[in-house]
């Protein structure tokens, strides 16, 4: 059952071919056996997980279960989860047990899903390789020497290694899509505002978005149905009618299921910096979409090259503000020895935060400081509007945009430790989507150097998740990249 889709697991549970307790125990045993070498989970609690599974079995026995009832999943460790450690991969929160559930956790729990544990991540979601975690780097299941991507690398590694059927992640500049690409998964970053941010520890509030990570587009659609919806506790949540994100997936396909679909190919996504092995896999995938009936057109995104510098002003500025609450007073790490209140603040933050978090706080504080706010932060916001306008113009001539998710396959752990610019550039194809508030999806489309996965990115217009998921689903019906998994 470890390779089964969510639909298959739901069918087995409904038919009583297995129980949620049995299914949960299967994954808990895999976590116990494989997690010491992968470091994908920070926290597990079998007793809590099995109690949730027993409750799910009782719901199913009463005939009250839904499509996700009894299915296990993992949560990225920045979703507040009642009674569980919520560390954000940081020493600062290494002792913080959340008193409440994030809305995402609550909604998936109400759907009857069983929490397996909390997954490792780059500290406070700041990183692209899952090397900045206080709990150590996560290993890529396809090659233990390689990174899984970040910041949702623990969630990606857990699903790829079949330690969980699905997981939650968050995406600020590509942190769902990039690790999904490097680990051979499907990962969806929804339109900004359709999934609540309440209880999701903030990195950059205008960019952060929660989303699902799973083996297939269909699995992600099922998860998004449960996750999405208005939440009055989140001021950025959008109040709009509920929709079924599986509706187009369920429609009849035919020989040319994507007839009439226009795919935009930005020239900026296929130029200098894109590795040859990634380019070959992505181009083969686009050829398959043409075979399925889609038509391709070239679209310009002239300001895409400015997305990385704009992001690395806006995101650190918002992080500087958001992380000011971690002061050692109310919760989190507090220095053992200090002379006065100011010294306690200074020492607690110096000890509690890692190097990358400190670097981004300093950059953000500088960008917001008197005399530089206009020159840096406001200018970055102007560039953000230009990037959003480029996407809006592109969607006047196409339905979806496609290209690589990452410019290269996963590098080995430590390879980019001394070259932060290259690390930051690994998100060059994903950051613009967050700046524009658009939905983006990565799905596996082949393998590159050293047998490592390659991801294809699909970008949609606002609220176009159903069309994106359908296109990805039709591709996955015609190919088997998403069904391949690393050897245990």
d(CA 298, CA 301): 10
Give the model's pLDDT for residue 250. 80
Is residue 302 one of the residues assigned to a domain? no
With a CB cutoff of 8 Å and minimum separation 6, the contacts of 89 are 42, 77, 78, 120, 121, 122, 123, 124, 132, 133, 134, 135, 151
Domains contained in the chain, number: 1
List, in order, residues 6 or more apart from 170 with CB less than 8 Å away.
76, 78, 125, 151, 152, 176, 200, 203, 208, 209, 210, 211
CATH number at residue 65: 3.90.1300.10
3-state SS string over 359-415? HHHHHHHHHHCCCCHHHHHHHHHHHHHHHHHHHHHHCCCCCEEEEECCCCCCCECCC
> Which strands sit side by side in the sheet containing 72-76, from one edge to the other?
41-44, 114-119, 72-76, 166-171, 209-214, 186-189, 440-447, 453-460, 400-404, 262-266, 295-299
**Length in residues, the chain:** 488
72 domain residue, yes or no:
yes
Rounded to 10 deg, the angle between the 307-322 and 379-394 helix axes is: 130
**Catalytic one among 5, 20, 49, 76?**
76
CA geometry: angle at 424 spanning 315 and 454, to 5°? 120
How many Å is the maximal CA-CA distance in the chain?
74
- Phi, psi (5° rounding) for residue 12? -65, -40
Please choose, from the candidates 432, 450, 451, 452, the residue with its C-alpha nearest in 3D space to the C-alpha of residue 440. 432
Asked if residue 410 belongs to a domain, the reply is: no
Q: What are phi and psi of 264, to 5 degrees?
A: -90, 135
What local confidence, expressed as pLDDT, does residue 281 receive? 98
CB atoms within 10 A of CB 376: 22
Residue 199 lies in a domain: yes
The answer to whether residue 387 is domain-embedded is no
CB count, 10 Å around CB of 228?
26
Residue 66: phi and psi, rounded to 5, are: -110, -170
Question: What's residue 196's pLDDT?
Answer: 98
H/E segment holding residue 321: helix 307-322
Catalytic residue chosen out of the listed positions 49, 152, 175, 426: 175
Is residue 128 among the annotated active site residues?
A: no
**Inside any domain, residue 34:** yes
Closest CA to 76 of 23, 144, 148, 5: 148
Whole-angstrom distance, CA of residue 347 vs CA of residue 333:
10
Judge whether 235 counts as a catalytic residue.
no
Between helix 20-38 and helix 46-61 the angle, nearest 10°, is 150
Cis preceding linkage at 151, omega within 30: yes
* Residue 373 in domain: no
pLDDT above 90: percentage of residues in the chain = 94
**Distances in whole angstroms, Cα of residue 337 to Cα of each of 323, 343, 345, 359:** 22, 9, 11, 24
Q: Is 175 a catalytic residue?
A: yes
d(CA 395, CA 283): 21
Other CB atoms within a 10 A radius of the CB of residue 382 amount to 9
The SS3 of residue 339 is coil
Task: Quote the tokens at residue 166.
Answer: 């699905």
Q: Is residue 129 part of a domain?
A: yes
Structural tokens at position 470: 């359908």
419/408 Cα distance (integer angstroms):
15
The whole-number pLDDT of residue 328 equals: 93
Helix, strand and coil percent figures for the chain, each rounded to 5 = 40, 15, 45
- Contacts of residue 286, Cβ cutoff 8 Å, sequence gap at least 6: 263, 265, 296, 402, 456
- What DSSP designation does 228 have? B
pLDDT at position 469, please? 98
Q: Per residue of the chain (488 residues), what is the pLDDT tens digit?
A: 899 999 999 999 999 999 999 999 999 999 999 999 999 999 999 999 999 999 999 999 999 999 999 999 999 999 999 999 999 999 999 999 999 999 999 999 999 999 999 999 999 999 999 999 999 999 999 999 999 999 999 999 999 999 999 999 999 999 999 999 999 999 999 999 999 999 999 999 999 999 999 999 999 999 999 999 999 999 999 999 999 999 999 877 777 899 999 999 999 999 889 999 999 999 999 999 999 999 999 999 999 999 999 999 999 999 999 999 999 998 899 999 999 999 999 999 999 999 999 999 999 999 999 888 888 999 999 999 999 999 999 999 999 999 999 999 999 999 987 777 788 888 999 999 999 999 999 999 999 999 999 999 999 999 999 999 999 999 999 999 999 999 76
Contact criterion met (CB below 8 Å) for 142 and 184: yes
Task: Choose among 149, 162, 144, 230: nearest CA to 194.
Answer: 230
Among residues 5, 128, 151, 307, the one annotated as catalytic is: 151
Range of the domain at 12: 6-255
Whole-angstrom Cα distance, residue 258 to residue 2? 30
């Amino acid at each position: 059952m470890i390779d089964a889709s969510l639909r298959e697991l739901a069918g087995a549970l409904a038919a009583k071919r297995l129980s949620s307790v049995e299914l949960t125990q299967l994954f808990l045993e895999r976590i116990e056996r494989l997690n010491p070498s992968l470091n994908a989970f920070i926290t597990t609690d079998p007793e809590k997980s099995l109690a949730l599974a027993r409750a799910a079995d009782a719901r199913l026995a009463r005939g009250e279960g839904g499509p996700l009832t009894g299915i296990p999943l993992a949560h990225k460790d920045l979703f507040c989860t009642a009674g569980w450690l919520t560390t954000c991969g940081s020493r600062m929160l290494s002792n913080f047990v959340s008193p409440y559930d994030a809305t995402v956790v609550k909604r998936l729990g109400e759907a009857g899903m069983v929490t397996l544990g909390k997954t490792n991540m780059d500290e406070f979601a700041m990183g692209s390789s899952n090397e900045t975690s206080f709990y150590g780097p996560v290993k890529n299941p396809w090659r233990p020497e390689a990174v899984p991507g970040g910041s949702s690398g623990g969630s990606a590694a857990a699903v790829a290694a079949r330690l969980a059927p699905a997981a939650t992640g968050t995406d600020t500049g590509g942190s769902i899509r990039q690790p999904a690409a490097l680990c051979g998964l499907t990962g969806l970053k929804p339109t900004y505002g359709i999934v609540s941010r309440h209880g999701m520890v903030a990195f950059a509030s205008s960019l952060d978005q929660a989303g699902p990570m799973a083996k297939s587009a269909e699995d992600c659609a099922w998860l998004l149905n449960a996750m999405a919806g208005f939440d009055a506790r989140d001021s950025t949540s959008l109040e709009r009618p509920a929709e079924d994100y599986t509706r187009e997936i369920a429609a009849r396909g035919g020989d040319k299921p994507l007839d009439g679909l226009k795919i935009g190919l930005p020239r900026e996504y296929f130029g200098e910096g894109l590795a040859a092995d990634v380019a070959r896999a992505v181009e083969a995938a686009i050829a398959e979409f043409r075979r399925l009936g889609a038509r391709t057109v070239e679209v310009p995104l002239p300001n895409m090259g400015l997305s990385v510098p704009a992001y690395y002003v806006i995101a650190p500025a918002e992080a500087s503000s958001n992380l000011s609450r971690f002061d050692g007073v109310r919760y989190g790490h507090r220095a053992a020895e200090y002379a006065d209140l100011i010294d306690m603040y200074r020492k607690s933050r110096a000890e509690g935060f890692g190097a990358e978090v400190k670097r981004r706080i300093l950059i953000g504080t500088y960008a917001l400081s008197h005399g530089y706010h206009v020159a840096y932060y406001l200018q970055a916001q102007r560039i953000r509007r230009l990037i959003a306008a480029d996407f809006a113009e592109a969607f006047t001539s196409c339905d979806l945009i496609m290209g690589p998710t990452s410019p290269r396959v996963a590098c080995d752990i430590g390879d980019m430790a001394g070259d932060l610019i290259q690390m930051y550039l690994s998100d060059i194809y994903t950051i613009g989507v967050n700046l524009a508030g658009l939905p983006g999806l990565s799905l596996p489309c082949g393998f590159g150097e050293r047998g490592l996965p390659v991801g294809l990115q699909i970008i949609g217009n606002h609220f176009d998740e159903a069309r994106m998921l359908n296109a990805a689903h039709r591709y996955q019906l015609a190919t088997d990249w998403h069904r391949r998994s690393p050897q245990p």
